[in-house]
Amino acid sequence: MNYNDLTYQIGLTLLNGVGDILTKNLIAYCGSAQQVFKMNKSQLEKIPGIGNYTANAILQSKTVLERAEKEVKFLENNSIKALFFTDTEYPKRLKNCIDSPAMLYYKGSSNLNVEKIISVVGTRTPSVYGKQMTDQLIHDLTTCGCLVVSGLAYGIDITAHKAALDNGLETIGVLAHGLDRIYPSVHSQYAERMIDKGGLLTEFITETKPEKENFPKRNRIVAGMCDALVVVESKREGGSLITATIANSYNKDIFAYPGKANDSLSEGCNGLIKSNRAHLIENASDLLYIMNWQEKLQAKKQKTTQIPLLLNLSNEEQLIINAFGDSQKLHLDQICQITNLSISKASSHILQLEFSNLITSLPGKMYQLNN
């Protein structure tokens, strides 16, 4: 049977023993998902990470491809986009994370690569204080125009989504199941509104139930998509702290609201602040200052920055300098997106440019090109 490229891409993600990292490795070696399925066993076994079991799974893939074809038809019938990690619409911030999903399914209207994205997470059983802080944060970020991401769960998640909708901000709900259902079902009314003012995003195909093991996977998408992660209320253990830990590993800026020392709903946030894993936040102004977003709220004169003509720069350093173009300031993620350098490589070269007084480091992983 002749399948289209999308069928092969989905099929690749459904193979036993082939996870996100190995999927990307296979594409790097074979060039396309379709070509992976055309390789013979000896060719497959020469690829690092592919053993006898995985090679056989690829060669005996008829059932997998049939399931993928079924998924393609569902996507077409329900106006859902499939975003393979090589697609230009795939979230670039998330793509920089080593364990990012090879495939995402998206139903919505928002650009997943807008200039500013925050993720808001917290307990499923928030206090009145937690809800108030979430509502106020989103309200005060309205003029900033950021995209709000959360997990559509009870508590702080749905409070953030509702506040975004009420304040005219676009919001993305990341799901731990397929797009053939909404969990919890009571949030369906908000999910429907979000499709026109944001969207729903998942890495799971239809018929995938919201099983326990899917939620940490969901959390890494919430962490990877954003510039800043805000934890409003959290107990000592829970999904919010898992998300914060993942975001920390992704080199994201993390913010946490402090609470009473004897309040169980504040233990997680207080712990993040006490261990220097999160910035203390009392209001949106704190986030705007640390992220260096406050200048975006004011009308600024367009400036053309003259790119210095420099000698003795490496190719990568010159790429970073050129990345600024007409921009006076860039975030680390933007530099990585423009130059296609990894975060670790870009950070290393930026440090050398700082030593040469060509770039200045600003709060919130922002960098300024010196005139």
Q: Are strands 171-174 and 279-280 parallel, antiparallel or unpaired?
A: unpaired
Pairwise CA distance, residues 168 & 90, whole Å: 24
Within the chain, all domains assigned CATH 1.10.150.20 are found at: 1-77
Max CA separation in the chain (angstroms): 64
The answer to whether the CB of 105 falls within 8 A of the CB of 81 is: yes
Block residue for tokens 């005139």? 371
- pTM of the shown model: 0.80
Domain with CATH 3.40.50.450 in the chain: 108-295
pLDDT of residue 302: 42
- All CATH 1.10.10.10 domain ranges in the chain, comma separated: 315-369
Tell the CATH topology of 1-77: DNA polymerase; domain 1 (1.10.150)
Of the candidates 21, 22, 19, 23, the one whose C-alpha atom is nearest the C-alpha of residue 9 is 23
What is the pairing mode between strands 198-202 and 103-108? antiparallel
CA separation for the pair 203, 221 (Å, rounded): 9
Q: Kindly state the tokens that stand for 33.
A: 């998902």
Judge contact between 96 and 221, C-beta under 8 A. Answer: no
Q: Which CATH architecture fits 315-369? A: Orthogonal Bundle (1.10)
Rounded distance, CA 328 to CA 295, Å? Answer: 12
Tokens of residue 131, six digits: 């809800």
CA distances from 261 to 20, 57, 255, 267, 285 (A): 40, 53, 18, 7, 24
List the CATH code of the domain at 108-295.
3.40.50.450
Tens digit of pLDDT per residue, the chain (371 long)? Answer: 457 899 999 999 999 889 999 999 999 999 999 999 999 999 998 998 898 999 999 999 899 999 999 999 999 999 999 999 999 999 999 999 999 999 999 999 999 999 999 999 999 999 999 999 999 999 999 989 999 999 999 999 999 999 999 999 999 999 999 999 999 999 999 999 999 999 999 999 999 999 999 999 999 999 999 999 999 999 988 889 999 999 999 999 999 999 999 999 999 999 999 999 999 999 999 999 999 997 655 544 344 344 444 457 888 988 899 888 877 789 998 899 899 999 888 998 998 888 888 899 888 888 998 86
